[in-house]
Amino acid sequence: MKLGLVLGYWFADPPTGVAEQIATAEELGFDSVWSAEAYGSDCFTPLAWYGAATSRVRLGTAVCQMAARTPVATAMSALTLDHLTGGRFILGLGASGPQVVEGWYGQPYPRPLARTREYVDVVRQVLAREEPVTIDGEHFQLPNTGEGTTGLGKALKSITHPRRTDLPIYLGAEGPKNVALSAEIADGWLPMFMSPGLDPHYRECLEEGWARPGARRGPDDFEVANLVQVVIDDDVEKAADAVRMSLGFYIGGMGAREVNFHADLFSRMGYADDVARIQDLFLGGRKEEAIASVPLALVEDVALVGPPDKVREDLTRWRETCITTLLVAGPPPQMRLLADLVRG
């Protein structure tokens, strides 16, 4: 199992200590470093800035929100960063949810799977640079000669030659259909809140995608890079509290009651009653109660919490899953400890 460092997205201010974290990742032989974006900082700029101080680790977005950019703009950023990093870039893409897509980016959300398929198609055309980029899809049209245009649009090829025509694309996905789509059209999958208990279910989804005509990859060359929160503390409940904060936010507030993919995921794990309670509390303005009500069993299903010996033992379950890379976060001392625990 490989290790990756997650930088995440920024909150009120840029995070501190990132340069030291990245230097430690290179020193410890981490495979990758990942940035993110929500509705604040972007995902490409930090990788360009910090990537200049690295020479070996791969640099990926987990994830670049598709609604934030046209597919051609995303492809331009990807091929640019791939050149600047000497062929170390990974493009991780995600659809986000309707609140962010329609509320922040002002783009329509319906039919995200069809939109993802078209989006990836355009990105791959740009990177292949075999022909001028064209698509006559439901969501994207290149050239765009429709109503309100001049009619002068011309199909173009990138004037910059991509360093790699097969630059890897991973998809962030939670639902079964989206996971299967990842296996069909992408080079890797970026799960969120994956549980070892759902591994058989996810393997079925992946197998469905790999079996589709024209699938790019198979089980032997497909990457699964999963973020797992790790909190080391002799007090298990205290360690779990740090994870409860994010879980309560994603279950209760990251999406509407009617459409919350994170809440749906935890319901599939068997926590439907807990999810309903957390949402009621969070949406009712009782956020602290919502966070405190996240059960320990749910925390331990998706995170590693407790003293080092417990984390080492719990890691056994994760090694048996389809995960190929464990994505973690933390200061250099914790990174060193995690490297020891994961590598035995």
Looking up tokens 């279950």, which residue turns up?
Answer: 251
Residue 34 near residue 7 (C-beta atoms within 8 A): yes
Q: Is the pLDDT reported for residue 257 higher than 80?
A: no
Residue 11 near residue 333 (C-beta atoms within 8 A): no
Q: pLDDT tens for residues 155-185? A: 999 999 999 999 999 999 999 999 999 999 9
Q: Looking at the chain, list the stretches that DSSP marks H as alpha helix, in order from N- to C-terminal side.
A: 18-28, 44-51, 71-84, 98-103, 112-128, 176-185, 199-210, 236-252, 261-266, 272-283, 287-292, 296-302, 308-319, 332-343
Phi, psi of 145 (to 5 degrees): -120, 20
Residue 25 near residue 336 (C-beta atoms within 8 A): no
Q: What integer is the mean pLDDT of 327-332?
A: 96
Q: pLDDT tens for residues 9-35? A: 999 999 999 999 999 999 999 999 999
Q: pLDDT band at 253, cuts 50/70/90?
A: confident
Residue 11 near residue 334 (C-beta atoms within 8 A): no
Q: pLDDT band at 259, cuts 50/70/90?
A: confident
Q: What integer is the mean pLDDT of 41-49?
A: 97
pLDDT at 286: 95
Cis preceding linkage at 63, omega within 30: yes
Mean pLDDT, the chain, integer: 96
pLDDT at 188: 98
Q: List the structure tokens of 158.
A: 């990138």
Q: pLDDT band at 261, cuts 50/70/90?
A: confident
Pairing of strands 141-142, 135-136: antiparallel
Q: What integer is the mean pLDDT of 284-293?
A: 95
Distances (CA, A) of 166 to 35, 225, 259: 21, 18, 34
Assign 289 to helix, strand or coil.
Answer: helix
Cis preceding linkage at 108, omega within 30: no
Q: Is the pLDDT reported for residue 76 higher than 80?
A: yes
Q: What integer is the mean pLDDT of 276-301?
A: 95
Helix axes 332-343, 308-319, angle to 10 degrees: 50
Q: pLDDT band at 344, cuts 50/70/90?
A: confident
pLDDT at 254: 78
Q: Is the pLDDT reported for residue 255 higher than 90?
A: no
Within 13 Å, how many C-alpha atoms sit on residue 208's CB side? 13
Alpha carbon distance, N-terminus to C-terminus of the chain: 11
Radius of gyration for the chain, computed over Cα atoms and rounded to the nearest angstrom = 20
Pairing of strands 229-232, 303-306: parallel
Q: What integer is the mean pLDDT of 72-85?
A: 98
Q: Is the pLDDT reported for residue 258 higher than 90?
A: no
User: Which amino acid is residue 250, in one-letter code?
Assistant: Y
